[in-house]
Amino acid sequence: MTSIKEIEGIGPTYASQLAEAGVRTIEQLREVGATATGRMRLADEARLGEEQILQWTHQADLIRIKGIGEEFAELLVKAGVATVPKLAYRNAQNLYMDLTLLNQRLKLVRRLPTVVELERMISQAKKLPKLIRH
């Protein structure tokens, strides 16, 4: 089980609020955050915004893919690639260009994956089940 603090943007304060609501791991966040009802309940119990819970859930979803860590997951979400199914339908070359431009502005990751690495991630995404329901 991976600590909830591995999600970019979840520090000790948010982790404590989420823990009070019963969510201590990324796996638990994925499970609870998979449905709108679960996210609404978690937001209420943790005293956090539903949109914030959704963003963290998206990052937790993307982290299932080998090679995607907390910072890169955040960059993907900000690039509009918020879920594994969305990644599955992207073109690696186009995604690389989008991420390069966005990261130049936001400076979220020190090193972007290569086009070949993105192709591997996209291939993995095509094999994983959809978890997040909106």
Average pLDDT score over the chain:
95
Residues 102/78, Cβ–Cβ less than 8 Å: yes
Residue type, 120: R
Return the pLDDT at 126: 98
Per-residue pLDDT tens over the stretch 60-93: 999 999 999 988 999 999 999 999 999 999 999 9
- Residue 16 tokens read as 């404590």
Q: Residue 1 above 90 pLDDT?
A: no
Residue 62 CB neighbour total at 10 angstroms: 25
Domain boundaries, the chain: 4-127
Q: What is the pLDDT of residues 86-102, one digit of tens each?
A: 999 999 999 999 999 99
At residue 119's C-alpha, the angle toward residues 77 and 84, to 5°, is: 35
Query: Which pLDDT belongs to residue 83?
Result: 93
- Tens digit of each residue's pLDDT (9 = 90 or more) over 4-45: 999 989 999 999 999 999 999 999 999 999 999 999 999 999
Q: What is the pLDDT of residues 42-58, one digit of tens each?
A: 999 999 999 999 999 99
